[in-house]
Chains A and B, each alone.
Chain A
């Protein structure tokens, strides 16, 4: 897509609002690095939506602020507080109970010691539980994000407009495979590159659509951490006879130069 088309497609608005699909997000992430105009457009949409949020502002009660800031302080200050409390008890009791027997003082000191120790003990227990809770919450959030991704992938696969095209491994990688989902209504092209071998360092897979017998760049396949392949949106095509994926040096080329890994006719 040309940058003017990108800007007029309303995709950047969806991206900023947070309702673009993961594949669309990846694509926009690429574009914003590639085109300063796209980056500038995103920033100004962000500012508009921020101001929109401000215009809808509703002041929360003061209690919320207190709760937030007191829980910021809790982890750092609660140990000294736990020690302080028994100390004041000890001062008071030593002032008032001068006439206590030495045994009584030892008992009092022991009681204070037990208090101190148990404070630290329960504090640690509390911290552990808090840590476990946060960990659990984190896991739930990750699973939710994962589910959302899967939902979106399923929508692409199950759409009544989606035409699947199987790309089979050629000589360079007979075991490799990939799948294209071509949306008949919009021409959008999605690729599922899960069964491609990991690209060697400095290389990237590039998708090609064959239009009138000639290969046309259909976009780079984005790979996170070298292994995280997801269904992703590529360039759109109104017509194509075949799709192929080649291994190219990082960033790709306007014409295929690397080996063809997989290919499929329509």
Chain B
């Protein structure tokens, strides 16, 4: 099933709108690991994560017509579908938002031994770059990104003023952007 074809984002989108399976294979090969990584960070259970991953991809396949490229990039759209589905699943299973601040600090290195490569991203290089991200900024990005916390919730959880949450979030992502350009 490994697809050797390469597509531009535009081609990919127009093929997926007509449910082209090769394009979907390509999508899976390039993005499944990243989506799986997000789910694992959110649910902390690799079996449950794979069930959610499966459901997310079926949703992406079935609802592709709803994707609107003027409202965001394709991968971001997929990430949002996956995160929302994960949040819904956690809620339906009676989970509460779990605090994982201490774990999160290490989890990149926890998983870094499982190799993954994509032809679009230099994953190993990115992981190395992430070590340069400041921990107090990274924690805030992670709480929002992986735990779905709003700024207000982060402020309460970490006992820091809302303004500080905003500043750290913004400077953290700016830092991330800089690291990625290197």
Contact = CB atoms under 8 A, between A and B. Distances in A.
Interface residues of B, number: 65
A14 interface: yes
Interface in B20-61: 21, 24-25, 28, 32-38, 40-41, 46, 49-50, 53-54, 57-58, 61
Q: Provide the main secondary structure of the chain A interface.
A: helix
A155 B41 CA distance: 27
B101 to A, nearest CB: 16
Nearest to B38: A53
Interface in B79-126: 79-80, 83-84, 88, 91-92, 107-108, 111, 114-116, 118, 120-121, 123, 126
Contacts of A59: 32-33, 36, 114-116
A100 to B, nearest CB: 44
A18 interface: yes
Interface in A36-78: 42-61, 63-65, 67-69, 71-72
Given A50-B75, A58-B40, A10 B166 contact: yes
A242 B80 CA distance: 39
B127 interface: yes
B150 interface: yes
Contacts of B88: 140-141, 144
A54 B126 contact: yes
B177 interface: yes
Given A18-B83, A47-B73, A54 B123 contact: yes
A8 interface: yes
A44 B76 CA distance: 11
B17 to A, nearest CB: 15
B38 A56 contact: yes
21 contacts: A14-B144, A19-B150, A19-B151, A42-B72, A49-B176, A52-B145, A53-B35, A54-B118, A54-B120, A54-B123, A55-B108, A55-B129, A57-B123, A58-B36, A58-B114, A59-B115, A64-B32, A65-B28, A68-B28, A68-B57, A144-B91
Interface of B: 1, 21, 24-25, 28, 32-38, 40-41, 46, 49-50, 53-54, 57-58, 61, 71-73, 75-76, 79-80, 83-84, 88, 91-92, 107-108, 111, 114-116, 118, 120-121, 123, 126-127, 129-130, 141, 144-145, 148-152, 165-167, 169-170, 173, 176-177, 180
Given A10-B165, A55-B108, A59-B114, 12 more contacts: A16-B72, A18-B83, A18-B148, A45-B177, A46-B73, A49-B145, A56-B107, A64-B32, A64-B53, A68-B28, A68-B58, A140-B88
